[in-house]
Amino acid sequence: MRETPFSLARELFSFRFEIGESDDADTAREKFVRGISELTDGAKTGFGGAFPGRDEGSFHRSSDRFRLLWIAVLERHRRGRETDPGACPSIFLPVFKAVSSKYPAVIYLDDLHWADDESVGFFDHLARECSDSPILMIELTRPLLFEARPHRGEGMDNRLRLDLQPLTRRESGKLVAEILQKAEGVPDDLSALLVSNTEGNPFYVEELVKMLIEQSVIDASGDSWTIDPERLGEISIPSTLTGVLQSRLDRLSPREMRVLQRASVIGRDFWDSALTGFESSVNVPTILESLRRKEILFRKERSTFGDSVEFVFKHALLRDVTYETLLIEERRQWHLETAEWLAEAKDRRRNEYLALIAEHFEKGASPEISAVWYQRAADQARRTHALETAERLYLKVLKIVNELGGDIGESGIDPEDEMNCRQSLGLVFHAQARFKDSIGMFEELLRMADRLGSTRWQAEAHWGLSVSQFDSGDSRSSLKARKMPSALPAIAEVRAATNRLCCRRKGCSARVVH
């Protein structure tokens, strides 16, 4: 969900208020309103009056700021007008302050390195503006997060960063003793093996012990564990964590492995109803339960789909190792099936999963289809003012077009879609005040429009050039672009587009040009 703006922020509320993916819009809204009302009951929220109650009427009578909050969380029911969820963090602040005024609040965020940029910015804003509120925010992440944000958190007195180091040999020895506490007398060779081979990685220690149990070195069937030293000398011990995980996978039955491989294509989190394509003799629920008992999978207490059971791989690395065992053709086929399943299963909230669907189509070797979905995801990101995400997605579309090769129309992508993508990317650059990039993109759009002889797109390109050149301070070029003869017959067709870009700001000077 990294390419879905504010997906983590929405998930925080969806999880807290038990809003499922299969809930329709009315049900989701009811749960959201009821959840917020219960959390902030009796507290001042800053929404201008009493906080909305549980009934539908009170929702409609609530202030515009509450409707903005609702839209920012679930991105649905825009009520006839678009809003700027870029203001989302500020809209949320009264809710968190109201909750923490009643009792201390804890926000727990795991695997933050996989979060979308907008959500990370949202929680950073929350940490700054609620620094005096009794809110504890716990974030777990890999160093990957700080590669993109090396200075994140600097200068904030209320933030403490703890870098977890590998366990020392003594700490590893204590961990081994804790895991094997049911064994009567742990051989020195086994203890040394577990400490030296695992390089201070506690997950490595745990998985190696499980491998030894599965290979009958350790008998954990009774209340008291027994260890067979002779058996320990007969087996080959993998030298890496990946090797240990692969060894565990090798001991699964063929059917268990096939189901696990299919699940790995969906992702670390997956649903039993998405595991399709097996013959009738494969009992998927039974196999999933077997994998759960072996602690390869965990079953979630609550599924985002009401008619499905949701599972998660115990560790992201375990999912990755499983995925790598698949043949390329099988991966492609199952990615296509996953994309189609997601597009159908998430129909009611499709806008939140556009980029994910596109990624599965791309990995399924369907670049033309993936480009369509990536463009939809980019358009959605631009509508929500997630400009950096929109830029990445539009560039991804253009990269796919270039990889497919040829001039406009020769890639298999509809020329209208390709030109719309370039225009939209130009608008994103303009909104970021990157006028040089914006002008360059509209010039490229103009060249493409000229080759196609499209008067409409010539007008769109001249309009974009005029606006970007004017806002960059080049009034002379702006006026020249506005007066290009090839654009004049179609200029009326893009008046609405001019309003979309220029008229959002009261008194925008760019309107004078047109």
Mean pLDDT on 258-270: 93
How many angstroms separate the Cα of 251 from the Cα of each of 130, 212, 213, 291?
51, 12, 12, 12
* Band of pLDDT at residue 42, cut at 50, 70 and 90: low
The average confidence (pLDDT) of the chain is 80
Phi/psi at 225 (nearest 5 deg)? -85, 150
pLDDT of 87 strictly over 90 = no
Query: What whole-number percentage of the chain has pLDDT above 90?
Result: 33
Instruction: Mark 116-132 as b/e (b = at least 16 C-beta within 10 Å).
Output: bbbbbbbbbebbeebee
Residue for token digits 């870098």? 163
Three-state secondary structure of 131-147:
CCCCEEEEECCCCHHHH
- Residue 288: the pLDDT is 94
Q: Which two tokens stand for residue 72?
A: 């920012």
Whole-number pLDDT of residue 440: 93
pLDDT band per the 50, 70, 90 thresholds, residue 167: very high
Q: How far is CA 17 from CA 1, 6, 302, 418, in A?
A: 20, 17, 12, 40
Half-sphere exposure of 392 (CA within 13 A, CB side): 11
How far is it, in rounded angstroms, from Cα 478 to Cα 108?
51
Q: Which pLDDT does position 346 carry in this prediction?
A: 57
- pLDDT of 81 reads 36
Q: Where are the alpha helices (DSSP H) in 17-116?
A: 25-39, 56-61, 64-74, 88-102
Residue 343 — very low, low, confident or very high, per pLDDT cuts 50/70/90? confident
Dihedral (CA of 279, 282, 284, 288) sign: negative
- Contact criterion met (CB below 8 Å) for 422 and 400: no
In angstroms, the CA 90 to CA 100 distance is 16
The number of beta carbons lying within 10 Å of the beta carbon of residue 421 is 25
Fold adopted by 338-513: 1.25.40
Ranges of H-type helices in 157-240 = 169-179, 188-197, 202-214, 229-234
Q: What Å distances lie between residue 243 and 175, 192, 203, 484, CA to CA? A: 21, 19, 13, 66
Least confident span in 40-54, 302-316, 388-402, 410-424: 40-54
User: What's the mean pLDDT in 424-452?
Assistant: 91
Distance CA 256, CA 272 (A): 14
Structure tokens given for 269? 């989190």
Give the span between the Cα atoms of 432 and 415, in whole angstroms.
26
Q: Are 89 and 120 in contact (CB under 8 A)?
A: no
Which pLDDT score, from 0 to 100, does residue 384 have?
A: 75
| pLDDT on residue 396 | 93
d(CA 248, CA 234) in angstroms, rounded, equals: 17
pLDDT for 140 beyond 60: yes
Average pLDDT over residues 235-260: 91
Predicted confidence band of residue 345 (pLDDT cuts 50, 70, 90)? low
In CATH terms, the fold of domain 252-326 is Arc Repressor Mutant, subunit A (1.10.10)
Buried b (16+ CB within 10 A) or exposed e, 374-410: bbbbbbbbbbbbbbebbbbbbebbbebbeeeeeebee
Rounded to 5 degrees, what are φ and ψ at 342?
-65, -45
Q: What is residue 238's DSSP assignment? A: P
* Alpha-carbon Rg for the chain in angstroms: 28
Structure tokens at 150: 């090396």
Return the sign of the alpha-carbon dihedral for residues 220, 221, 227, 230.
negative
Considering the entire predicted model, what is its pTM?
0.75
